[in-house]
């Protein structure tokens, strides 16, 4: 009997021990207090994509969309071409309102000195001066020698920090009594290159400077034949030109000089090529040594027929 009691006691201890272990097991997690809230998972979360930022060293440009570039002073050397327009002038002296100019920077040195030249209206003038850098701009003050009545001082800025570089400034004459004693300009880089196949186009019915007669309301005009021949590439014959008008012949001949970058002193040709011929760049005041044998022969032929050709007049403003 004592043994049975002993086993019963042991079973009771075992039962109590099992209850103790069961009561110490993991508890049920508390229910989600907001069961209607959608759980964020990889498949149902809506997250705005991150804003892209440029990598280190990458530039998005300024507010105008212009892309900045880095340039050294040697990158600024070269020619800049555009219109040279009257700013301060004397009206009674028959001023030339605007002419195409080529400003050439030949050499910039680290001592802040600069040398170059300008070509405009049949004048070829050297200049020297100084430059300084202001942020990404380069500011120049240069002077012509002063031994010519049309010499003066150029003040201009190159915005070298942008891909589309522009030269902008003024020129002031030493002699304030000139018809135009101050001019302004906004020029773009342009490289002169002789191209024999540069063609005269879209000049028909253009009037020639100085031919307008107020009393008759007539002027001398070019015709479609001004574009008929390129005297730098075609050997002309007398039958090609003998019936052409004087103005057409004159422009065909002077187009030879224009292809070589001749800067016209004569207003009639200068106004025409400066304003209406996009490829024209004034580069020199003497191109005789550059003419080809074909061009020389054509020049002689054209000049002979110019002397006897009729002028073409029509109502002004056609």
Please report, for the domain that includes residue 253, its CATH number: 1.20.58
**213, 304 contact by CB (below 8 A):** no
Residues of the chain with pLDDT under 50: 1-6, 9, 11, 16-59, 317-318
In the listed set 148, 171, 189, which residue is the last one of a domain according to the structure?
Answer: 189
- Tokens 């340039």 belong to 71
Residue 157 bridge partners (DSSP): 139, 168
pLDDT at 62: 54
Q: Within a domain: residue 274? A: yes
**Residue burial 251-284, b: 16+ Cβ < 10 Å; e: rest:** bbbbbbbbbbbbbbeebbbbbbbbeebeebbbbb
pLDDT at 3: 46
Q: Are residues 154 and 95 in the same domain?
A: yes
Q: Are residues 80 and 174 in the same domain?
A: yes
**99, 266 contact by CB (below 8 A):** no
Question: Would you say the C-alpha torsion 96, 97, 100, 103 has a positive or negative sign?
Answer: positive
Q: Are residues 175 and 241 in the same domain?
A: no
Q: Containing domain of residue 99, as a range? A: 73-189
Q: Are residues 181 and 78 in the same domain?
A: yes
In the listed set 147, 171, 189, which residue is the last one of a domain according to the structure?
Answer: 189
**170, 184 contact by CB (below 8 A):** yes
Tokens representing 302? 């054209």
Q: Within a domain: residue 251? A: yes
pLDDT at 180: 97
Q: How many domains does the chain have?
A: 2
pLDDT at 65: 55
Q: Are residues 94 and 184 in the same domain?
A: yes
Q: Are residues 175 and 224 in the same domain?
A: no
pLDDT at 214: 81
CATH number at residue 121: 2.40.128
pLDDT at 162: 87
Q: Within a domain: residue 40? A: no
pLDDT at 91: 87
Q: Within a domain: residue 303? A: yes
């Amino acid at each position: 009997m004592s043994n049975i009691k002993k086993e019963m006691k042991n079973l009771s201890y075992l039962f109590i021990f099992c209850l103790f272990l069961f009561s110490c097991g993991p508890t049920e997690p508390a229910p989600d207090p907001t069961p209607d809230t959608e759980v964020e998972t990889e498949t149902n979360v809506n997250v705005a994509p991150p804003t892209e930022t440029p990598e280190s060293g990458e530039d998005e440009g300024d507010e105008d969309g212009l892309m900045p570039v880095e340039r050294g002073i040697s990158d600024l050397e070269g020619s800049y071409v555009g219109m040279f327009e009257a700013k301060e002038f004397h009206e009674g002296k028959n001023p030339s309102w605007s002419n195409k100019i080529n400003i050439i920077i030949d050499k910039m040195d680290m001592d802040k000195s600069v040398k170059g030249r300008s070509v405009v209206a049949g004048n070829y003038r050297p200049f020297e001066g100084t430059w300084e850098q202001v942020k990404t701009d380069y500011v120049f003050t240069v002077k012509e020698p002063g031994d010519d009545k049309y010499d003066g001082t150029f003040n201009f800025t190159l915005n070298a920090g942008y891909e589309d570089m522009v030269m902008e400034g003024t020129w002031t004459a030493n002699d304030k009594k000139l018809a135009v004693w101050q001019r302004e300009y906004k020029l773009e880089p342009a490289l002169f290159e002789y191209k024999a196949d540069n063609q005269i186009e879209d000049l028909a019915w253009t009037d020639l400077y100085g031919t307008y007669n107020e009393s008759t309301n007539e002027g001398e005009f070019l015709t479609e034949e001004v574009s008929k021949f390129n005297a730098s590439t075609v050997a002309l014959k007398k039958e090609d030109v003998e019936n052409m008008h004087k103005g057409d012949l004159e422009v065909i001949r002077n187009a030879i000089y224009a292809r070589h970058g001749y800067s016209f002193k004569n207003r009639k040709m200068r106004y025409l090529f400066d304003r209406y011929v996009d490829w024209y760049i004034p580069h020199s005041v003497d191109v005789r040594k550059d003419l080809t044998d074909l061009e020389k022969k054509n020049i002689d032929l054209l000049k002979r027929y110019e002397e006897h050709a009729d002028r073409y007049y029509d109502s002004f403003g056609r």
